[in-house]
């Protein structure tokens, strides 16, 4: 029982370490002979030894963080690292919150669809386009219907015409196996 708890604690402890690290070297981890130092307010403090830079950071009660390890000499900055990590996580969270995921909704029909059914499919497509999603409209050909693919193309063109106020046709109808498909994208700047 205690062994299982110990393993869980160790795994959680490792996750906390990897989250807190964020691939920056801090304070005593910086072993370079010389570093270019930037102060807490963004001012250039010049090139000095890593030990001297670490002492300056400790005097101010802040952390020494290596922000550009590939530069010659490496660039380090004096900052409050926990506040920096918090602000970075907050920015990433806001960016994820504001991003819009565009889905592709599919509407399937047959070439012998009736008028009322077609109108219902058009209403569904307009709803999807209004939500900002792309719509894939496809016609499925079965058996002898493959001989009349021109009917499917005509149907798709009528569908695109009916949705022309809210959508733009991304690709012309194209036959792929037993399906003929086209994509509609919502018009921007409504």
Domains of the chain, residue spans: 22-96, 104-186
Homologous superfamily (CATH) of 104-186 is Translation initiation factor 3 (IF-3), C-terminal domain (3.30.110.10)
In our burial notation (b when 16+ CB lie closer than 10 A, e otherwise), range 87-97 reads: eeeeeeeeeee
What's the pTM?
A: 0.50
Q: CATH top-level class for 22-96?
A: alpha beta
Instruction: Please name which of 68, 62, 40, 64 lies closest in space to residue 53, comparing C-alpha atoms.
Output: 64
Of 38-47, 92-101, 148-157, 169-178, which gets the smallest average pLDDT? 92-101
pLDDT single digits (tens) 13-58: 444 444 444 577 787 788 788 888 888 888 888 888 888 888 888 8
pLDDT single digits (tens) 99-140: 777 788 899 999 888 989 999 999 999 999 888 888 999 999
Instruction: Give the tokens for residue 177.
Output: 């196996």
Kindly report the CA angle at 162 between 158 and 168, in degrees rounded to 5? 95
Half-sphere exposure of 139 (CA within 13 A, CB side): 26
């Amino acid at each position: 029982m205690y062994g299982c708890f110990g393993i869980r604690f160790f795994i959680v402890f490792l996750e906390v370490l990897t989250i807190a690290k964020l691939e920056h070297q801090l304070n005593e981890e910086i072993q370079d002979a010389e570093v270019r130092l930037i102060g807490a307010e963004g001012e250039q403090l010049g090139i000095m030894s890593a030990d001297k830079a670490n002492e300056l950071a400790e005097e101010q009660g802040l952390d020494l963080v290596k922000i550009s390890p590939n530069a010659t000499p490496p660039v380090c900055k004096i900052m409050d690292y926990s506040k920096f990590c918090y602000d970075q996580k907050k920015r990433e969270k806001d960016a994820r919150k504001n991003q819009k995921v565009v889905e592709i909704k599919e509407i399937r029909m047959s070439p012998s669809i009736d008028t009322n059914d077609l109108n219902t499919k058009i209403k569904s497509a307009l709803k999807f386009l209004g939500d900002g999603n792309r719509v894939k409209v496809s016609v499925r050909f079965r058996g002898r219907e493959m001989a009349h693919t021109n009917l499917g193309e005509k149907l798709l063109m009528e569908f695109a015409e009916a949705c022309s106020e809210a959508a733009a046709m991304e690709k012309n109808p194209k036959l792929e196996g037993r399906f003929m498909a086209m994509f509609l994208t919502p018009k921007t700047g409504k």
